[in-house]
């Protein structure tokens, strides 16, 4: 089965790339403010792991809200980083590209904390997978780390510190702003990894 990963360039998707070694990685520039840094991070990791990498550009900023779009928060927003139907949108764009590449399974980087948003829950992933499988191509979606915290995922994947250093998690800019939900998570995970606990282990990519 040929597998693709929606590789955003953040900690979670980089760890999944190292763990699952998909044949294909797809990064979406959908008009988010940190797109350039996310693409750079994803490209570096894909090259390191020799993963076929595709960047899809579809400017949807006018449909977004909050930190990542640089727009006022939507009245329905549960948090400042909320972009309406973002995971559904990204999975759809990735699947549209992946189907032309002979992919049967699409991996997404949802982790346990993403359950704060409805589109980060196992129920959402299951419904999305069923919807894609219903259509031509029979593609499915899975989130292999959805029951793991980011810290647990990093340890399980054994992604080296040198690769994790590429991660870009800021929601507002190509340079970490230090005061958004993405930056807060990034620095908290790094703190936990280095607070007397075993960090990710150094290892070489599988042949």
Q: Domain map of the chain by residue range? A: 3-193
pLDDT at position 203: 44
Does residue 206 surpass a pLDDT of 60?
no
pLDDT at position 23: 98
Q: Give residue-wise pLDDT tens across range 98-157.
A: 999 999 999 999 999 998 889 999 999 999 999 999 999 999 999 999 999 999 999 999
Of 13-17, 26-30, 82-86, the one with minimum mean pLDDT is 82-86
What mean pLDDT value characterizes the chain? 91
Does residue 65 surpass a pLDDT of 60?
yes
- Output 135-139 pairs: Cβ under 8 A, ≥24 positions apart: 137/99, 138/104, 139/95, 139/98, 139/99, 139/103, 139/104, 139/105, 139/106
CA dihedral 71, 74, 79, 82 (to 10 degrees): -70
Does residue 205 surpass a pLDDT of 60?
no
pTM over the 0.75 mark: yes
> What is the band of 200 on the pLDDT scale with cuts at 50, 70, 90?
very low
With a CB cutoff of 8 Å and minimum separation 6, the contacts of 167 are 9, 10, 11, 14, 41, 186
Smallest CA-to-CA distance from 151 within 97, 116, 183, 197 is with 197
CATH superfamily of 3-193: HUPs (3.40.50.620)
What DSSP assignment string belongs to 115-183?
GGSGGGSHHHHHHHHHHHHHSTT--EEE-TTTTS-HHHHHHHHT--HHHHTT----SS-SS--SSSHHH
pLDDT at position 57: 98
pLDDT at position 72: 82
Contact 2, 104 (CB under 8 A): yes
Q: Is 197 or 10 the better-scoring residue by pLDDT?
A: 10
Of 71-75, 172-176, 186-190, the one with minimum mean pLDDT is 71-75
* Overall average pLDDT of the 149-167 stretch: 94
- Quickly count helices (H) and strands (E) in the chain: 7, 5
pLDDT at position 76: 83
pLDDT at position 113: 93
Cα-based angle 103, 200, 50 (whole degrees, multiple of 5):
35
> What is the band of 195 on the pLDDT scale with cuts at 50, 70, 90?
confident
Rounded Cα distance, 61 and 97, in Å: 20
* Overall average pLDDT of the 173-197 stretch: 89
């Amino acid at each position: 089965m040929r597998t693709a990963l929606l590789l955003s360039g953040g900690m979670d998707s980089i760890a999944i790339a190292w763990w699952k070694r998909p044949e294909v990685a797809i990064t979406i520039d959908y008009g988010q403010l940190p797109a350039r840094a996310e693409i750079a991070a994803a490209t570096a990791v894909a090259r390191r792991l020799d993963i076929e990498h595709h960047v899809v550009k579809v400017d949807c900023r006018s449909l977004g809200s909050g930190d990542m779009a640089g727009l006022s928060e939507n009245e329905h927003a549960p948090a400042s980083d909320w972009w309406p139907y973002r995971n559904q949108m990204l999975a759809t764009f990735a699947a549209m590209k992946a189907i032309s590449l002979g992919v049967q399974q699409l991996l997404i980087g949802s982790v346990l904390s993403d359950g704060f948003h409805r589109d980060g829950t196992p129920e959402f992933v299951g419904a999305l997978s069923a919807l894609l499988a219903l259509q031509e191509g029979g593609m499915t979606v899975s989130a292999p780390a959805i029951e793991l915290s980011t810290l647990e995922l990093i340890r399980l994947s054994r992604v080296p510190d040198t690769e994790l250093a590429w991660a870009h998690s800021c929601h507002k800019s190509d340079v970490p702003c230090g005061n958004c939900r993405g930056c807060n998570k990034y620095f908290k995970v790094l703190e936990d990894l280095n607070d007397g606990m075993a960090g990710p282990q150094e290892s070489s990519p599988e042949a």
